[in-house]
Structures are given as structure tokens and as C-alpha cells.
Amino acid sequence: MSHAKPPTTSAGTNTATGTKVSDLLAGLRRGERRSIAAAITALESLSADAPELLRSLQPHLGNALIVGLTGPPGAGKSTLVNALIGELRKSGRKVAVIAVDPSSPVSGGAILGDRIRMTAALNDDGVFVRSLASRGYLGGLSPAAVRIIDALDASQFDMILLETVGTGQSEIDVAEVADIRVVASAPGLGDDIQAMKSGLLEIADILVVNKADREGAERTLQQLKGALSIRPGESAKVPLLKTTALTGEGVDELLAIIDDLAAPILAAPAADRRRRRARYLIARAAADLVAGRIKTGGDVINQLADTVLNGQITPTDAARVILESKE
């Protein structure tokens, strides 16, 4: 029994898929939660509709402000995001949250702990929260996160808050994707403050000492001030403030600083910010392709590894060989 193929357009696009994507895009533009959830699922799993959906999103991108919030475990990032949601909604702004959770070692999916703490998102059509598995990406983001940012951007949210896995200084990926980077700390984190000095401080646009009602908050603030003082020129002038997210203290000031920094960013061509996200996706895809070749390369990769071990070439040169090869 023969099976008829789905009709295609002159460009080769499956018209059934095209219709589905068109309906999905229309729902996104109207801010329909079901459409947003369906689009995110398609983009996260890279379903058959995903390539066409990504292409359809492009004309509608670059309007939302992307704010990354990162920092060591225990800094209260999720509670701070919850407090920011409340402040944003007071001014009528629509806000979306991507909470990048550690991946479950069993299912590979997000553990979903962050959504439990985001009570401000409950029963509010102006707020959308999605937990997303990191899927082993040590930088705190997977490529799926960037694709989902595009879907939320096209859904006409005013701000997208991107909270990343609390693994300290390895979260430099946030700098490549977010328009503004908020780095949170808290009293009593000990060695994590030292790690921040050598990593996360370099990407911070705003520094927050959260849980400011705890003993040691002022000491933590002074430590971070000292770390900033040795940075060169303008990079030393990073806003630094205290918040207590549970009570909301200082959160209005944090949002005011974000808005001040956002003004020139949003006034610049949207294409610049879209291009930065595209570069990140290209870099991730290239890294994945190289990693895949190394895993499946067999004798060719083993021979290349031996030349590195023998000191004939450097690992960097070996990587170039892989990148330049056609297979």
C-alpha cells in the first residue's frame, strides 16, 4: 500500500508543517500560553517543526531585554527572581523566566526546584516560567536555552530573566547571551566569594549581596568592593547593592539600576543583540560537532592524539586539523 507524501511548496517546505508553524507563531504573537509552551517544547526537543519555527521567529526578535542572573549556590537567586517578577508586574510589564536547573541523572530533564520558589508567577497571565535542564553544559546554558529565549522574545514579553545553574565561575556563557548580567552573592558563602573574584566578577554588570539581613552582609559587600577596586578603568564602576529578596528590600533599587543600564541597550539596533545570540549558537554547534568527531573518529583521532602525546603538534593544532577536515 502506497502512502502519499505531504504536499510541499515550491521551496520544498512541508505545507502541513508550515501551517502548523504559522498557527503557532500567531499564538505566540498573541501571548497565548498554550502556544508558548508548545513552541518551547518543539525548540527544546528540536522537533520536525523546529527549523521552520526558528526561521519564522526571526523578524519578531530583539525587543525583549534579556537579564541573566547567576552566582554561587546558596545566593538566593530563585528568590531574587521571584521578587523581581513582583516589581516588574507592579509596573505592568510582562516577564518570562527561564530557570536552568541541573539535569536529572535519570531522565536528563530539569529537576524543577526553581519553579517551586517562584510564587509570584502563580495565576498571572503576565508571567511565564519555564524550567530547563542544563543537560550537562557546564557553562550553565544549553543551546536550547537560546532557542527558547527567541520564542519568548517573539511572544512580546518585556523582560526575560535567565537564571542559570549555580555552579560559580563556570557560568561565563551568560555573558554571551544576556544583555545585562546580574551576579548574586550572599553572606557566609566562604570560598565561593573567592571563586567569584576570579570568574563571575568579570562578567558582572550589577553585583548584588542578597540575604542582606544576615550577619556578615556588610563584610561580603566590602569584599566585593575590594575585588572591584583592582579592575581597570570603567570596569571597576559596577553597581553594587544589598537586597533581601524574601522581604523585597532593595529589589526596587535593583530594578531601577537594570532599567538605567537597559536604556542604551534597547535604543541600539536589535540586530546587534540577535547577532550575539546567533554567534553563541554557532560556537556551541561547532563545539558539539568537534566533540562528536572525536568520539566517533576511531583510528584517525587516535593517530592525532598520538602526535599530540609525542609533542609533534599542540592540542590547539589538533583541533584545527579536525575543524578543517571534511569528514
- Which residues is 241 bridged to in the sheet? 208
**Closest-CA residue to 146 (of 206, 68, 217, 76):** 68
Distance CA 178, CA 292 (A): 28
pLDDT confidence of residue 326 = 67
Does residue 15 register a pLDDT over 60? no
Distance CA 184, CA 240 (A): 10
| Shared-domain flag, residues 299 and 237 | no
8 Å CB contact between 68 and 145: no
- What is the tens place of the pLDDT at every residue in 228-284? 887 766 666 899 999 999 999 999 999 999 999 999 999 999 888 888 888 888 887
Give the mean model confidence (pLDDT) for residues 278-307: 84
| Shared-domain flag, residues 68 and 217 | yes
Domain enclosing residue 310, as ranges: 275-324
Strand, coil or helix: what is 172? coil
Long-range CB pairs of 36-41 (<8 Å, 24+ gap) are 36/128, 36/151, 36/152, 36/155, 37/130, 39/151, 40/130, 40/148, 40/151, 40/152
| Shared-domain flag, residues 31 and 111 | no
Domain final residue pick, 7, 32, 57 = 57
Distance CA 323, CA 327 (A): 9
Task: Work out the end-to-end distance of the chain between its first and last CA atoms, rounded to an integer number of angstroms.
Answer: 38
Q: Is residue 147 part of a domain?
A: yes
C-alpha cell, 95: 516577564
CA 124 to each of CA 33, 73, 121, 158: distance values in angstroms, whole numbers, following the listed order: 11, 28, 6, 15
The larger pLDDT score, comparing residue 108 to residue 149, is at 149
pLDDT confidence of residue 275 = 86
C-alpha cell, 263: 536604556
Domain final residue pick, 268, 285, 315 = 268
In the chain, % of residues over pLDDT 70? 78
Q: Is residue 134 part of a domain?
A: yes
CB atoms within 10 A of CB 321: 13
**Closest-CA residue to 249 (of 117, 80, 95, 97):** 80
Q: Is residue 108 part of a domain?
A: yes
pLDDT confidence of residue 170 = 46
The larger pLDDT score, comparing residue 255 to residue 71, is at 255
Q: Is residue 9 part of a domain?
A: no
| Shared-domain flag, residues 124 and 214 | yes
pLDDT confidence of residue 118 = 61
At position 10, the amino acid (one-letter code) is S
| Shared-domain flag, residues 171 and 197 | yes
pLDDT confidence of residue 224 = 87
| Shared-domain flag, residues 176 and 96 | yes
Give the distance from CA 80 to its chain's centroid: 16
pLDDT confidence of residue 191 = 59
- Going by C-beta distance under 8 Å and a sequence separation of 6 or more, which residues neighbour residue 30? none
Does residue 123 register a pLDDT over 50? yes
In the chain, % of residues over pLDDT 90? 48
Give the mean model confidence (pLDDT) for residues 193-210: 78
pLDDT confidence of residue 252 = 97
Q: Is residue 76 part of a domain?
A: yes
Q: Is residue 8 part of a domain?
A: no
Q: Is residue 299 part of a domain?
A: yes
- Give the containing element (helix H, strand E) for 280: helix 270-296
pLDDT confidence of residue 203 = 84
| Shared-domain flag, residues 117 and 189 | yes
- Which residues is 147 bridged to in the sheet? none
| Shared-domain flag, residues 207 and 285 | no
| Shared-domain flag, residues 109 and 251 | yes
Give the mean model confidence (pLDDT) for residues 70-93: 92
The C-alpha cell 583592582 sits at 230
Give the distance from CA 129 to its chain's centroid: 13
Q: Is residue 3 part of a domain?
A: no
| Shared-domain flag, residues 206 and 282 | no
| Shared-domain flag, residues 195 and 279 | no
| Shared-domain flag, residues 86 and 33 | no
Give the mean model confidence (pLDDT) for residues 214-235: 83
pLDDT confidence of residue 19 = 62
Q: How many domains does the chain have?
A: 3
Distance CA 49, CA 28 (A): 15
Give the distance from CA 103 to its chain's centroid: 15
CATH assignment of the domain containing 148: 3.40.50.300
User: What is this structure's pTM?
Assistant: 0.82
8 Å CB contact between 31 and 37: no
8 Å CB contact between 160 and 149: yes
